[in-house]
């Protein structure tokens, strides 16, 4: 099994001017840069019509055909914005309503719309022959992540129960579709590290479709061991965002960033190769554990232009892909098993 790539997440690149204004145009652009796969933001109508993709196999075949014309595959359909709306605390409703259509502006309305959208995307993913759907879980407890005053007793347990209640029907639909929900573990979400993911997983009875998107950049900013994370959770990793980051705290700013702009925070996302993420070790571990999904560039950088980041991303990912060996490097020293020789080497026979 080998990691597929390079792929590119189109969310940060879609726009109103060519070549970013339509799926055919952006496919041509991505292919010219050396990408082999594209991850689609399912919420962006310039890229795709989600409802049509859920209802029409012909339309999905058309999307696949457009990608194939440029030597590309569709890697996944993402629902980060819609998944976020499945669980919105009222304190964040004003900011999150921009993710939904006009009139969908209360937490209850957002939940209903977001749930429907995520289910549509799971159906569309099945129609496209995909395996995983990157998404966000939403957040009901994030405002209590570093609590003062202390959290009321039982808040965390009840919070995960409610999150599980909202996601369980979605996960069951995912199972019907044969698609894994790949939650991106991310600050601002109730699933923001391994412990919070485990708490959610327990509440959904270890649902087989409650899986993970691996993005090391978010762990750098939390000072979390992103290599040990792979060792712990590799069986659930179904998607991979290749994104770099750095964490440079000083006497003025640390993990929380002091409300500063991105360039002045201690933790910053960077273009590939400009941060401190140990990508050779990551690709090695994912190869060790036989991850055979896509390695997809998610470009976010406060210093470098997106075009430059995209141009550099494809060769960077390509250079880190590992072809597993057909045989062990020390096979020459082996051979057929000779039990007598083995026992003599153990000192059991003269």
Q: How many domains does the chain have?
A: 1
Q: Give a yes or no: residue 97 inside a domain.
A: yes
pLDDT band at residue 156, thresholds of 50, 70 and 90?
Answer: very high
Q: How many whole angstroms separate alpha carbon 175 and alpha carbon 172?
A: 5
Domain of 106 in residue numbering reads as 4-345
CATH number of the CATH domain containing 90: 3.20.20.150
Q: How many whole angstroms separate alpha carbon 258 and alpha carbon 264?
A: 9
Q: Give a yes or no: residue 350 inside a domain.
A: no
For Cα atoms 168, 293, 3, give the angle at the middle one, nearest 5 degrees.
Answer: 155
Q: Give a yes or no: residue 70 inside a domain.
A: yes
- The per-residue pLDDT for 190 is 98
Strand partners of residue 244: 270
Q: Give a yes or no: residue 184 inside a domain.
A: yes
Q: Work out the average pLDDT over 146-160.
A: 96
C-alpha dist (Å) from residue 342 to 87, 197, 328, 337:
61, 47, 20, 8
Q: Give a yes or no: residue 104 inside a domain.
A: yes
- pLDDT single digits (tens) 235-278: 999 999 999 999 999 999 999 999 999 999 999 999 999 999 99
Query: Percent of the chain beyond pLDDT 70?
Result: 98
Q: Give a yes or no: residue 40 inside a domain.
A: yes
Q: Is residue 76 a contact partner of residue 133, using CB atoms and an 8 Å limit? A: yes
Q: Work out the average pLDDT over 203-214.
A: 98
Where do runs of H (alpha helix) occur along 2-72?
Answer: 23-32, 50-55, 57-69
Q: Give a yes or no: residue 19 inside a domain.
A: yes
**Dihedral pair phi/psi, residue 185, rounded to 5°:** -75, 120
Q: Give a yes or no: residue 82 inside a domain.
A: yes
- The per-residue pLDDT for 335 is 65
pLDDT band at residue 341, thresholds of 50, 70 and 90?
Answer: confident
Kindly report the pTM of this predicted structure: 0.95
Q: Is residue 76 a contact partner of residue 294, using CB atoms and an 8 Å limit? A: yes
* pLDDT exceeds 90 at position 22: yes
Count CB neighbours of 243 within 10 A: 24
**Dihedral pair phi/psi, residue 307, rounded to 5°:** -65, -45
């Amino acid at each position: 099994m080998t990691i597929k790539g390079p792929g590119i997440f189109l969310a940060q690149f879609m726009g109103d001017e060519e070549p970013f204004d339509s799926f055919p145009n952006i496919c041509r652009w991505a292919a010219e840069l050396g990408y082999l796969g594209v991850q689609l933001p399912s919420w962006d109508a310039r890229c795709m019509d989600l409802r049509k993709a859920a209802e029409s196999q012909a339309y999905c075949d058309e999307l696949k055909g457009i990608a194939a014309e440029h030597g590309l595959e569709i890697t996944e359909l993402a629902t980060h914005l819609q998944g976020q709306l499945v669980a919105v605390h009222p304190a964040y409703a004003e900011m999150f309503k921009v993710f939904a259509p006009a009139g969908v502006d209360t937490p209850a309305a957002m939940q209903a719309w977001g749930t429907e959208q995520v289910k549509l995307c799971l159906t569309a993913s099945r129609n496209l022959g995909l395996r995983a759907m990157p998404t966000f879980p939403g957040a009901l407890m994030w405002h209590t992540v570093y609590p003062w005053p202390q959290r009321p007793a039982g808040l965390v347990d009840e919070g995960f129960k409610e999150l599980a209640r909202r996601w369980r029907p979605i996960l069951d639909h995912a199972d019907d579709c044969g698609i894994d929900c790949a939650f991106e573990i991310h600050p601002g979400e109730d699933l923001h590290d391994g412990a919070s993911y485990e708490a959610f997983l327990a509440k959904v009875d270890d649902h087989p479709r409650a899986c993970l998107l691996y993005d090391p950049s978010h762990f750098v900013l939390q000072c979390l061991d992103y290599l040990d994370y792979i060792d712990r959770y590799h069986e659930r990793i179904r998607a991979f965002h290749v994104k770099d980051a750095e964490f440079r705290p000083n006497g003025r700013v640390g993990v929380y960033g002091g409300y500063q702009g991105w360039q002045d925070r201690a933790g910053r996302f960077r273009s590939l190769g400009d941060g401190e993420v140990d990508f050779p070790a990551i690709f090695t571990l994912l190869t060790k554990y036989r991850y055979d999904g896509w390695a997809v560039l998610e470009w976010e950088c406060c210093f470098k232009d997106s075009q430059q980041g995209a141009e550099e991303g494809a060769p960077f990912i390509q250079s880190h892909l590992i072809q597993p060996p057909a045989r062990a490097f020390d096979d020459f020293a082996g051979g057929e098993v000779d039990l007598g020789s083995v026992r003599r080497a153990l000192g059991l026979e003269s």
